[in-house]
Amino acid sequence: MQDIKRLDHTIKHMLLTIERGRNQIINIARDSRRQRDELMARLVEVKGEIVSIITESDRLERDFKLARHYLIEVNRNFQLYSEREIQVAYEEAQHLQLQLTAMREREEQLRKQRAHLENMLRHATETLSRAEKLENQVGLAIQLLSGDLHSMTVKLDELQTRQQLSLRIIMAQEEERQRVAREIHDGPAQSMANVVLRAEICEKLMDLEPEKVRQELHDLKTMVRESLQEVRKIIFNLRPMVLDDLGIVPTLKRYLVELQKRTDIVMELVVLGDEEQRLPSALEVAIFRIVQEALNNTVKHSAAGRCVIKLEILAGRVNIVVSDDGCGFDTQQVLEAAGGEYDSFGLLGMRERVQLLAGKIDIRSAPGKGTEISITIPTKR
């Protein structure tokens, strides 16, 4: 009995010690999270300052070039200008040069500061990740020592699955953010910068060449219209507004029309059942993303000439079939390698979406035999 009591005391003391260590880890994680958030906020500020300085530097450089050209003209024809005008031209060019030099030095300082912040942020993120991982491990150890072993095994599996799913969600979010940032940077952001530059040119030409200003304004209008189309395209890719307004069928039809412009594959949508029936919003979004991923795979990998999308809306379920006559692939090899070399096929993401909706997915393909993806999702649970 004494040995049992001693063992019980030892276990309780060990659990208390582990719990104290866990609390310390939680504090470290909290401090690391706060430091990471502060660094991220400061990094955003620095990046904003860099953008502002680059914009101002570009403006100063243009002004400096104009001032230099004017100074050259004054020096060549100094007899046409007064001594005061020559002095003003020289002082203006020198003042702009000093401003431009200071601005570039400030930009270099901010770039170094940005690199330093990014390095600190990376270390803080790594520390937070290690602390959170250690916290989870210690928490599991406490539960394992104080609870039922079988129950802990079940919870461990659930936690691992949840962590994997959370990681994939985070990775998908980051990839989507990078894609949107890249599209905005390469598209609307560049166009807006050109619009600002052309607008400044219009201001300078307003009194000198009115006809040229009219042409510049016409070009500006065209650029703004193209930028608006790019923004609408980005918004549609993020979440089609027509999906909320009209439903899944009109959204898929519009998506296929836009996709058809970018590929030679003949796309055909076949809808069976009630086309006008509205499904729950989350289900419509999931169906659209699943079909979108399947079609992205077809365009990227299949080398197909024709693709058929069948959507069947029934009373208790939705059936989706995406088939093509392309090159096909070894399904077993791809699914076993999911998350690695073949993760670009997106099959794992589609399968996880379907499983979250309590549905079933069947992928049939073989080299040279085309591909068919069949999905069934219940609408009432």
Give the percent of the chain with pLDDT over 70: 73
With cut-offs at 50, 70 and 90, classify the pLDDT of residue 46. Answer: confident
- Residues 127 and 261 grouped into a single domain: no
Evaluate whether residue 187 is within a structural domain. no
With cut-offs at 50, 70 and 90, classify the pLDDT of residue 185. Answer: low
- Residues 133 and 11 grouped into a single domain: yes
- Residues 253 and 367 grouped into a single domain: yes
Q: Comparing C-alpha atoms, which of 301, 199, 318, 307 is closest to residue 249?
A: 318
Output the pLDDT for position 305. Answer: 92
User: In CATH, what number is assigned to the domain containing residue 57?
Assistant: 1.10.287.620
With cut-offs at 50, 70 and 90, classify the pLDDT of residue 143. Answer: low
- Output the six-digit token pair for 67: 């001032």
- Residues 257 and 370 grouped into a single domain: yes
| Mean pLDDT in residue range 295-307 | 89
- Residues 15 and 143 grouped into a single domain: yes
- Residues 139 and 248 grouped into a single domain: no
Contact present, 330 and 266 (Cβ < 8 Å): no
- 326: how many CB neighbours lie within 10 A of its CB? 22
Evaluate whether residue 178 is within a structural domain. no
End-of-domain residue from the set 114, 147, 180 = 147
DSSP letter for each residue of 150-169: HHHHHHHHHHHHHHHHHHHH
- Pairing of β 317-324 and β 306-313: antiparallel
- Output the six-digit token pair for 374: 């069949």
End-of-domain residue from the set 147, 174, 196 = 147
Output the pLDDT for position 75. Answer: 81
- Pairing of β 306-313 and β 360-365: unpaired
- Residues 252 and 370 grouped into a single domain: yes
pTM of the predicted protein model:
0.44
Count the domains in the chain.
Answer: 2
Structural domain boundaries, residue 110: 2-147
User: In CATH, what number is assigned to the domain containing residue 271?
Assistant: 3.30.565.10
Ranking 211-225, 247-261, 271-285, 348-362 by mean pLDDT, the lowest is 211-225
Output the pLDDT for position 156. Answer: 47
Ranking 4-8, 141-145, 218-222, 356-360 by mean pLDDT, the lowest is 4-8
Ranking 71-85, 90-104, 206-220, 329-343 by mean pLDDT, the lowest is 329-343
- Residues 28 and 140 grouped into a single domain: yes
Output the pLDDT for position 324. Answer: 93
Q: What is the Cα–Cα distance from 265 to 302, expressed in whole angstroms?
A: 10
Contact present, 242 and 251 (Cβ < 8 Å): yes
- Residues 142 and 246 grouped into a single domain: no
Q: How crowded is the C-beta side of 81, counted as CA atoms within 13 Å?
A: 17
End-of-domain residue from the set 88, 121, 147 = 147
- Residues 247 and 351 grouped into a single domain: yes
User: Residues in the chain, how many?
Assistant: 381
Evaluate whether residue 267 is within a structural domain. yes
Output the pLDDT for position 2. Answer: 44
With cut-offs at 50, 70 and 90, classify the pLDDT of residue 4. Answer: very low
- Residues 141 and 274 grouped into a single domain: no
- Output the six-digit token pair for 331: 């399904």
Contact present, 163 and 181 (Cβ < 8 Å): no
Evaluate whether residue 16 is within a structural domain. yes
Sheet holding 306-313, edge to edge: 266-273, 306-313, 317-324, 371-378, 360-365
Evaluate whether residue 74 is within a structural domain. yes
Evaluate whether residue 316 is within a structural domain. yes
Q: Name the DSSP class of 365.
A: E
Output the pLDDT for position 271. Answer: 92
Ranking 31-35, 136-140, 334-338 by mean pLDDT, the lowest is 334-338
With cut-offs at 50, 70 and 90, classify the pLDDT of residue 51. Answer: confident
Evaluate whether residue 177 is within a structural domain. no
Evaluate whether residue 206 is within a structural domain. no
- Residues 136 and 261 grouped into a single domain: no
